[in-house]
Chain A
Amino acid sequence: MLAQPKILTVSELTRDLKEVLENVFEEVHVEGEISNLRQPASGHCYFSLKDESSQLKCVLFKGAGAKIKFSLKDGMKAICSGRIGVYEKDGQYQLYVAAVEPKGKGALQLAFEQLKERLSKEGLFDEAHKKPLPFLPQAIGVVTSPTGAVIRDILHVLNRRFEGAHVVIHPARVQGDDAAQEIASAIQCFNDLKNVDVIILARGGGSLEDLWCFNEELVARAIYASLIPVISAVGHETDYTIADFTADRRAPTPSAAAEIVMPPYAELNERISSRLVFLWQYLKDIVPQYAQRIDDLTEDLSRAMERLLETLQARLGGLMDQLIALNPLAILKRGYSITYRLEDAKAVVSARDLKKGDKVRTRLSQGGFTSEVLEIS
């Protein structure tokens, strides 16, 4: 007798398949190209991984998705890790993704590049938005770990350049999950307190993972929003972070940030003192100069007065001589005389004015006489 084949309901078969599949494919790593990517309002992410001949449906739930630093894109080659599950309602198997690693480069590297491109497009790195640093900061805010070499280096350099510079430290973790949040709120805190006029964000060297908080969007936004200029000083000279691009100034190292922010006291002091010395020297020079000029002018003046007097005297003498010469009586003194006709008292200047027998009066320098014309010649 033939045994009756066991009839299964669809649900029963599906449940059996589910059990088998989910046991065998508890953890798989699948490489493929992301396609048909959808992210509805729920925040979960649906896509397919495909190669030349096959496709695998994938689900990335919101919680797992939040741990992925970069964003998925259609066409991206990636390795997805997770478990195979069966969605009983559709009879579909799919990969529940727990982690995604981009093919070719590290996840962080990719996330860095993606964020850099996005924020750059948005204008967060624009030169026009960068604020100038204060010439002489009255107080310097430092966001960093309060222990370790970095804060020591910064304080050391600041103190060397300007003994007693006012520094306010806002401690923050600079590594790990909470670091970005702590750094961002430290920047915000300084902006609320307004007790510093420049902020240094500092961290020592480390791997890309170690420095990761300085590549978080949260930190970039806080730097961009800060009304107080921010200097980023993260890692070594060769490390570039998103914070570096967003900051108003990038310092290659924490010590360099201290140098950038604080002008050396000795130099400033010299700049003022040398001017002060000049001013006093100027005063010392200018007073004798003017005194000398006054002396010179006084001398010139008296010499000019003398010359003027001499000229006036000479002119006066000349005029008097002329006056004397012009006095008609003076002519009589030299032996000349004037003769008048007696009849009409007209001065006789020509013999033709007279005839024999005319009576004339002659005036001399002293006195005069009357005579008669005897002969006209």
Chain B
Amino acid sequence: MSFEENLKRLEKIVDELHSEKLSLEKSLEKFEEGVKLADTSLKMLESMKKKIEVISKTKDGKIKIKPFEEEQ
């Protein structure tokens, strides 16, 4: 699931727990899924690669990607 799908599913679960009368088994199931989704979403958010890159072409036309250093 994408980050967005995760987030939407998490919100749906919370809404269901809020509003619907669920059996204990069902609500514990939902709780467990919700905690897992929140955990995954936070991890996805944290795992976003922390870098800035720049594409360049070598003389023979090959593409190179290297870290970007701003030229002042």
Instruction: List chain A positions with a Cβ less than 8 A from chain B.
Output: 135-136, 138-139, 146-147, 151-152, 155, 162-171, 186, 189, 193, 195, 265, 268-269, 271-273, 275-276, 278-280, 282-283, 286, 290
Contacts and interface: CB of A to CB of B under 8 A. Distances in A.
Interface string B23-41: 0100110010011001101
Contact of A272 (B7, B28, B68): B7
Contact of B48 (A135, A162, A271, A280): A162
Contacts of B34: 275-276, 279
A290 B53 CA distance: 55
Nearest to A148: B71
28 contacts: A135-B4, A136-B44, A136-B45, A136-B48, A139-B49, A147-B71, A155-B52, A155-B70, A162-B48, A166-B49, A167-B51, A167-B68, A168-B52, A169-B68, A186-B55, A193-B55, A195-B65, A265-B45, A268-B45, A271-B7, A272-B41, A272-B42, A273-B42, A276-B42, A279-B35, A279-B38, A282-B31, A286-B27
B45 A272 contact: yes
A290 B14 contact: no
Q: Which of B39, B53, B56 gathers most chain A CB within 10 Å? A: B53
B53 A275 contact: no
A135 B10 contact: no
B31 A279 contact: yes
A203 B59 CA distance: 26
A286 B41 CA distance: 25
- Between A166, A276, A290, the greatest number of chain B beta carbons within 10 A of the residue's beta carbon is seen for A276
B41 A168 contact: no
Nearest to B41: A272
A166 B51 contact: yes
A17 to B, nearest CB: 55
Interface of B: 2-4, 7, 10-11, 13-14, 17, 24, 27-28, 31, 34-35, 38-39, 41-42, 44-45, 48-56, 63, 65, 68, 70-71
B70 A166 contact: no
B20 to A, nearest CB: 12
Given A272-B7, A282-B17, A282-B31, A165 B48 contact: yes
A341 B28 CA distance: 85
B17 to A, nearest CB: 6
Contact of A167 (B2, B7, B44, B53): B53
A184 B8 CA distance: 36
A241 to B, nearest CB: 23
Given A162-B48, A186-B55, A272-B7, 4 more contacts: A164-B49, A164-B50, A164-B51, A279-B14
B52 A167 contact: yes
Most buried by A among B45, B52, B70: B52
A275 B14 contact: yes
A169 B35 contact: no
Nearest to B49: A166
A138 B48 contact: yes
Nearest to A168: B53
A167 B48 CA distance: 11
Contact of B42 (A146, A151, A269): A269
A3 to B, nearest CB: 74
A271 B38 CA distance: 9
A152 B70 contact: yes
A268 B41 CA distance: 9
Contact of B71 (A146, A193, A283, A286): A146
B38 A283 contact: no
A151 B72 CA distance: 12
B41 to A, nearest CB: 5
A189 B38 contact: no
Given A135-B4, A279-B38, A286-B24, A169 B31 contact: no
